[in-house]
Amino acid sequence: MQTNNNFYSYENRDGVLPVSWNMFHAICKGLAAVIYPYSPDIIIGIARGGMYPGTLLSHILRKEFYPVRITRRENDVAVRNKPKWLVEPPQALTGKMILIVDEICDSGETIKLVQAKLTGLGATEVRSAVMYAHTRGRHIPQYIGLISDALILNPWDIEIFTGTDFTIHPEYAHAFQQNNLGDGTAYLPNIKTINPQKQTEPR
């Protein structure tokens, strides 16, 4: 659900769950071990959040990977009430066993829409995997890394660059405020910048 400032509502979260890059990798390794017997022909990652676990799982399981994009967002801001298809799946899915991968399952609407699309393209079987699921969405994916109603902080989107500084993502800041948890800056990763060895000057 969106609020009137184009952020999702994060009310009533059960604490905070910061996920490090090491924890991300550990969750994906656990998922890979239980997905292995299914042996999907193709892994479909739902961009953007599902690209991270989807890509890693495709490497670990040595499977083909394709991205799809179905989202309520534009330029990192929620602007639609319903997800819109922006990048559709490949056509050559007939007779294939497919694994959908996303970052999180809340209502399950996005996963259901992607599953219906893949089934319509002739996939033999479609299963789904997520890193996390909230309690209300736990019955939808076949594979779930963690079930939690906490405010989950991903390592790939917790901070943004403003042009001068790295700071907490505005949507996370909004979520912290909604739950009376401060400003969230204490959860920013302590990762120093490595300056590029080559860069092109702006025109």
Residue 49 has pLDDT above 70, yes or no: yes
Q: Report the share of the chain in percent with pLDDT over 70.
A: 97
Residue 30 lies in a domain: yes
SS (H, E, C) the chain: CECCCCCECCCCCCCEEECCHHHHHHHHHHHHHHHHHHCCCEEEEEECCCHHHHHHHHHHHCCEEEEEEEECEECCEECCCCCEEEECCCCCCCCCEEEEEEEEECCCHHHHHHHHHHHHCCCCEEEEEEEEECHHHCCCCCEEEEECCCEEECCCCCEEECCCCEEECHHHHHHHHHCCCCCCHHHCCCCCCCCCCCCCCCC
Q: What is the pLDDT of residue 7?
A: 76
Cis peptide before 62, with omega less than 30 degrees from 0? no
Provide the residue range defining the domain that includes 108. 16-155
How many domains does the chain contain in total?
1
CATH of residue 99: 3.40.50.2020
Residue 2 lies in a domain: no
Residues 114 and 118: their CA atoms lie apart, in Å, by 6
Residue 182 lies in a domain: no
Residue 104 lies in a domain: yes
Give this prediction's pTM: 0.92
Residue 38 lies in a domain: yes
Q: What average pLDDT does range 138-149 have in this prediction? A: 97
Residue 183 lies in a domain: no
Q: What is the pLDDT of residue 5?
A: 59
Q: How confident is the model at residue 175 (pLDDT cuts 50, 70, 90)?
A: very high
Amino acid at 45: G
pLDDT digits (tens, 9 = 90+) for 75-111: 877 788 888 899 999 988 999 999 999 999 999 999 9
Residue 1 lies in a domain: no
* Strand-strand pairing, 97-105 and 42-47: parallel
